[in-house]
Structure 1
Amino acid sequence: MSMNENDFCRITETAYLNQENTWRYRAIVHYCYKKHEHMQTYVYPEDIYHKLRKDVHFQEYSFEQLEQDLAQLVAWNDLKPHQETGRARSILDFKRRKFRYQCTPYTVEIERMIGHLQSIGEEFGGSLETTQFDRILHALRELIEHADTFTLAELNQTWLDLQHFFSSLVQNSSDYLAHLNSAKVEECMQTSEFILYKDKFSQYLQSFVLGLQRSSLKIEKLFNEGKESHIEKNFVRLADYQLQIPRLGEQQSREAYIEDFRESYMVMQDWFVGTGYRTSELQVLYTETMDTIRRITRFAQRLAEQHQAVRSRKNDYLYLAKWFAGCRDNREAAELSSVLFGASCVRHFFVQTRESDNIDAHIEDEKPALVEIRPRVNTYRERTRQIAIKDQREKKMELLRDYLAERAKHDALLDALVVDGAITLEKLPQISMEVRKTLLGWVARCMQQSTGEIQTETGRIVKLVWNSKEKRKICLRCDDGDFLLPAMKLMVKKGEAF
């Protein structure tokens, strides 16, 4: 994505929102915006003044102050002045240059944004609509498979529908999940009233997951099978349609339009399909939705357990009391108590694990365990014995020779894979787990370097060669299974860098 100078400039049109007299500027601009929304393009200063004077905050506001504020808003390009000549009755009136004012496009969009921000409040909204996937699938299929039969206007409408459905899906789903993860909703989930809404929330999220699973694979297939030349042709036709629309002033070039369409399409494709180095946002959305379902279920289960814990056990205890009342003597009552409540005044010791795994074995059949009790004083120290230091050089040398031999064998296996100075992963035979770990370790280290090459501990210079835009996958056969990865090649040589 390229940047231009406008991306780094200050937006002077928003200056009226953060000034000492913002309350006056915003009142003037908002009145002009309301008139614009009611198809009254031009606003006279007298109308603005009479409107503001009706408010208690503008009781001491003078017409001269209004003219100064209007001049400042014109300087910030929030209002555009038009000289009023129709009401001039004399040369003196004409020289006074009476103006009427019109909102600029920037001002209209800023006021619309402010109105939208005031309407959404402090909480997230959004929703999880399964129909959005079906609409995106239909629009994408029309764009990729049937665009040749469309006129330019029909193709443009299909593209606008696809963008609208995609932006609605992304915005509404992210807002709704953020709403469920907010602190206020989490507090509501911890109340007993949440149990009544648990099933409704779970069914709503599960239906969204089913819709996602039903359409996501079809959408991903369309993106993968779409021919790049055919899609580029559609971008050219969309640019031609935009160039046909008469516009005054500076207009974008054909290449700029095509680049905008291509970038928007790549954003949608990466969202559904992902890239070579990260998973798709669709998979992230699926994971977050499933985690939310599990979290809701956990909250509901915890509330149910708490409700069960505080339930009155009066009837249960009365039933047990009848058992105790029917006992013949104190011994029988004690035996019943030990069965129901366990033995009282029991001391527990931690000992070694029992040798027998038979759950039916009696405790009398278990061998006794010895527990060493040490004095609980700070001055107690265990007795130590002096042990002579043994010479382990022979054992160390033997371990070193074994390691070097194993390393030489491993290096020989790697050298055998090099053909014409390169290891082509697609052409490799079945390899061992150790060799696979080494090759993938080289790949990971090369991808972390800007030059794409590294030097191994054995002196090899390894350079990774691959096309990140290629979607084709290869299979690396290993002793412990098959590994799917992009088509890659490792250039290997000893000595200086490539």
Structure 2
Amino acid sequence: MLGTLGQEITETAYLTARTNTKRYRYILRYFYEQYQRTNYWLQPEEILSGVRTMGLEEDYDMEKLQADLSQLEGWKSLTAQHDSTRVTTIEEYLKKRYRYMMTPYAIEIERLVIQLENVKGYGGSLQPSKLQEFVRLAKAIRWWSQVRSEVEAVELWDELIDLFKDLNERASDYIASLNSKRSEELFATEQFLAYKDSVLTYLQNFIQVLQNTAPEISELLLQAKQDSYSTARFLHQVVSAKMGMPNLDEPLSAEQWEERINSQWRNVERWFLGTKQESSLVSLLEQMAKDTIFKVVRSAIRIQEKGRSGMSRQQELEQVGRWFLQTESLEEAHELYAYTFGLYETRHFFGEHAEDNGYLDETSMWETTPQEFSLPPRGHQGRPRNTNTAPVIARKNNPVSLQAYLKKKQEEESLIETYVNRGSVLMSELGVVSKGERQQLLSWISRCLANKNLQFRTPDGIRIAMPNRPNLDRTILVCEDGELEMPNYTLYFSREGEPS
């Protein structure tokens, strides 16, 4: 079979021939134009007149034409047939006059060449109406009735496949056009701002329809996939109808038709449902459209910011200056300045707490004494010389901090000993608690919630646990420094080795 994988396609030789390429292309283009007019078989005289009319050189004669026709026939771009319709004598019959017709391969190649000549970019379009039409066709296949004829089945199938191909190709081409190099260059120019809104509206409308129709189509295809008997019956009717159509150019067996139809159906399912290895192509199309919207908006913002950066603000500043001249007091000038320029950029400074204020991690910043921070001169003359500094004394060795830490640990041990003797503590049964007790209770609850088994052990071997109660009542924990609304937790305390 011509054109099978691994074999040379001789029908394309006329496009790249070393000599007479121009003449071959004129002849095949004339044949194709006549083919579109349903004029299939052409006489040499008619061909010679036609190519001359199209612009081929005047010295092109019948001898050269016959040689070119023989070459094209050898490349299987043309097929010849003995023409005996106008023979009146034996001599004319012996001359064997021929008429010629394009082969199917040559027709498709010339059609492709014409399409390539008209390519200016990717083209394509996003057509939401096709998605809505696809919903109708998917419903018809999903609820296909056995009593309907094979003719209706094949008509529905051809309409579905044509719509699917058109939707897939046009959408992919349009997204590709927006991501092409030419579009990237256009996005960087100010002319792009003129139709930015129309592009965004076009993409947003398509995404909106896609989000409304794609889940419905996917659900219909998934139901059809699960109802394999009904779907197989429909596809079998399509195969039977295809087999009943006479096709002299490409006769296929029932198995070949079945494989082709099933393969096309799997492509439709893969486009909307995806596979275990990859997501659906319709979701990728949606994401590509969203990414394109983001790129369009970002490009428009970049162009606008670029235009603002070169804008002169002389007139604005002159107007502000006139306003300042019209102020009657310094206070009014301060207010105008605040409205016009706002606040200066703030600066934040961070320093060490003084070691004599008993600083602990739980100490609030509002309870500490203010810190003094000296700002060194910014000039290089005010920089201090490098001198050996005294070693920094760690805070944990400071007597004041150590005393406060030991006092805090003693209070914690006393509190936990009290709770161990009680066995359990219910938040709603507690009276007024101190600030330290409240902080300790919340710390224990937090540590229990952080573990899967809702319990933990202290370094002293005390086990603190909470029961698993998903729906707890709420209570008010009354503290010295306020009230705290919280779930009514229960904490259980036990020593290591005791039953929990």
Give the TM-score of the pair, scaled to structure 2.
Answer: 0.65
State the partner residue of 1:117: 116
- 1:157-196 deviation per Cα after TM superposition (whole angstroms, max 9, x unaligned): 1111111111111111111111111222233333334333
What pairs up with 1:268-417 in 2 under 5 angstroms? 268-322=268-322, 325=325, 353=350, 367-368=373-374
State the partner residue of 1:473: none
Tell me how far apart the structure 1 counterparts of residues 221 and 143 of structure 2 sit (CA, whole Å).
11
Tell me how far apart the structure 2 counterparts of residues 280 and 123 of structure 1 sit (CA, whole Å).
27
Residue 131 of structure 1, CA deviation: 1.0
State the partner residue of 2:34: 35
State the partner residue of 1:347: none
- 1:441-469 deviation per Cα after TM superposition (whole angstroms, max 9, x unaligned): xxxxxxxxxxxxxxxxxxxxxxxxxxxxx
State the partner residue of 1:389: none
Residue 359 of structure 1, CA deviation: 13
Residue 204 of structure 1, CA deviation: 1.1
Structure 2: tracts of 5 or more residues without a match: 354-363, 381-385, 389-450, 453-500
- Check the 8 A contact 1:80/1:102 in 2, yes or no: yes
Tell me how far apart the structure 1 counterparts of residues 351 and 96 of structure 2 sit (CA, whole Å).
104
Identity across matched positions, percent: 28
State the partner residue of 1:107: 106
Distance 1:132 1:329, change over 3 A: closer
Distance 1:322 1:35, change over 3 A: closer
Residue 329 of structure 1, CA deviation: 12
Moved more, 56-65 or 321-330: 321-330
Tell me how far apart the structure 1 counterparts of residues 273 and 349 of structure 2 sit (CA, whole Å).
55
- Check the 8 A contact 1:272/1:281 in 2, yes or no: yes
Tell me how far apart the structure 2 counterparts of residues 157 and 355 of structure 1 sit (CA, whole Å).
83
> Larger C-alpha radius of gyration, 1 or 2?
2
State the partner residue of 1:94: 93
Aligned mate of 2:129, from 128, 131, 138: 131
Tell me how far apart the structure 2 counterparts of residues 255 and 42 of structure 1 sit (CA, whole Å).
35
Distance 1:43 1:9, change over 3 A: same
State the partner residue of 1:206: 204
- 1:113-157 deviation per Cα after TM superposition (whole angstroms, max 9, x unaligned): 2222222x2312111111111111111221221252421111101
Give the TM-score of the pair, scaled to structure 1.
Answer: 0.65
User: Letter of the aligned partner of 1:258 in structure 2?
Assistant: E
Q: What SS does the aligned partner of 1:7 have? A: coil
Distance 1:118 1:146, change over 3 A: same
Q: What SS does the aligned partner of 2:4 have? A: helix
What pairs up with 1:170-249 in 2 under 5 angstroms? 170-226=168-224, 227-248=227-248
- Check the 8 A contact 2:26/2:54 in 1, yes or no: no
Tell me how far apart the structure 1 counterparts of residues 164 and 98 of structure 2 sit (CA, whole Å).
44
State the partner residue of 2:475: none
Tell me how far apart the structure 2 counterparts of residues 328 and 340 of structure 1 sit (CA, whole Å).
17
- Check the 8 A contact 2:123/2:177 in 1, yes or no: yes
- Check the 8 A contact 1:351/1:371 in 2, yes or no: no
- Check the 8 A contact 2:3/2:9 in 1, yes or no: no
User: Letter of the aligned partner of 2:240 in structure 1?
Assistant: D
Tell me how far apart the structure 1 counterparts of residues 173 and 372 of structure 2 sit (CA, whole Å).
62
- 1:262-300 deviation per Cα after TM superposition (whole angstroms, max 9, x unaligned): 111111111111110111111110111011111111222
Distance 1:81 1:239, change over 3 A: same
| RMSD of aligned alpha carbons | 4.0
Moved more, 128-137 or 233-242: 233-242
Tell me how far apart the structure 2 counterparts of residues 216 and 55 of structure 1 sit (CA, whole Å).
50
Residue 250 of structure 1, CA deviation: 6.2
